[in-house]
Amino acid sequence: MKAMKHRKSIAVILAFALAFTMSMSSVAFAAEGDGYLSLGADLSDSERNTVMDLLGVDDPDNYTVLYVTNADEHKYLDSYVDSNQIGDRALSSVLIKEQSGSDIDVEIHNIGYCTESMYRNALQTAGVEGAEVVVAGPFEISGTAALVGTIKAYEKMSGETVDDEVIEGAVDELTTTGEVGEEIGDKEAAGDIVSDVKEQLAENPDMSDQEIEEAIKQAAQEAGYDLSQSTIEKIKDMVKNLQGLDIDWGGLKDKLQGIDAGGWFQRLVNWVKGFFE
């Protein structure tokens, strides 16, 4: 009798898990139209074909296409990125699709400097939401310039204009996270630290310098790192820059505190598997 009840319990759990998975899939891939393409203006024909393949685009005519020039890249990146890293050709390309909810899903190809979480965090700062983003280069590139293309494509998709200062703030966050990641040897941890500090800033946008520094140290400790004072100052400068921008802190707080559905589902799967061990 107990075995029968046990099997029924498992069946109910699995049915719930299946329903949850199906609902999440419909959210993850829902999009209006085929999406928006932001292409590097200096791609050669062969490079363009490579990028299209990586982005999963068969026919660009089915998309709204815009181009980002090298001048656009320098406009937003020069204050934060070495000009040699930006180069003199615009190559980073992005496919962005609208999806239900406020989540930002990121996938990267041939991007050597920026991680998916770095893009996601910076895009949240810029006010991007409900987007599926794929970033690609024709060969391995840093990917810093792709942030500009993503935001420009999002403006087209949403019909909303992102202030230049906010774009620069997002670029500052992206590059600072990358620098911190290289200093500690862990870009994912650097992203977690910056995200945690931003969450506290969203709770209290008027944090003092001392409160910001304490938030950085606490976030670093939770991530398992003891940051140098110079690294702490670097993050603090970036955070203070964000404080001066016209950012919807309430909306950002909601995004940062959103439920990690993927993590929750994995825990559910592990729990179900425990019944069979």
Predicted confidence (pLDDT) per residue in 109-168, tens digit: 999 999 999 999 999 999 999 999 999 999 999 999 999 999 999 999 999 999 999 999
Residue 93 is classified by DSSP as E
Look at residue 26 and give its three-state secondary structure: helix
24 or 7: which leads in pLDDT: 7
pLDDT tens, position by position, 163-215:
999 999 999 999 999 999 999 999 999 999 999 999 999 999 999 999 999 99
Tokens 């950002």 -> residue: 252
Q: What is the pLDDT of residue 167?
A: 94
pLDDT confidence of residue 12: 40
CA nearest neighbour of 73 among 62, 88, 63, 61: 88
- Residues paired with 200 in a beta bridge: none
Residues in CB range of 170: below 8 A, 6 or more apart: 122, 123, 125, 126, 147, 151
In eight-state DSSP terms, residue 88 is S
pLDDT band at 256 (very low <50, low <70, confident <90, very high): low
pLDDT by residue (tens digit) across 25-39? 333 333 345 899 999
Sorting pLDDT into bands at 50, 70 and 90, what band is 257? low
Can you give the pLDDT at residue 9? 44
Residue 81 has pLDDT above 90, yes or no: no
> What pLDDT sits at residue 139?
96
Give the end-to-end CA distance of the chain in Å, rounded to a whole number: 20
What pLDDT does 258 receive?
A: 56
Q: How far is CA 83 from CA 77, 86, 88, 94, 150, in A?
A: 8, 5, 9, 21, 20
Tell me the C-alpha to C-alpha distance, in Å, between residue 81 and each of 77, 138, 154, 176: 6, 21, 22, 10
Structure tokens at 256: 């940062």
d(CA 41, CA 35): 19
Q: State the amino acid at position 226 in one-letter form.
A: D
d(CA 218, CA 208): 15
In the chain, the percentage of residues whose pLDDT exceeds 90 is 68
Least confident range of 17-31, 167-181, 243-257 = 17-31
Q: Distance between CA atoms of 139 and 26, rounded to whole angstroms?
A: 32
Average model confidence (pLDDT) across the chain: 82
272 band by pLDDT with thresholds 50, 70 and 90: very low
Q: Would you mind telling me the total number of residues written for the chain in this entry?
A: 277
pLDDT score of 16: 39
Burial class (CB in 10 A: 0-12, 13-18, 19+), 38: buried
pLDDT in tens, 84-112: 778 899 999 999 999 988 899 999 999 99
pLDDT of the residue at 84:
78
- Domain coordinates in residue numbering, the chain: 25-267
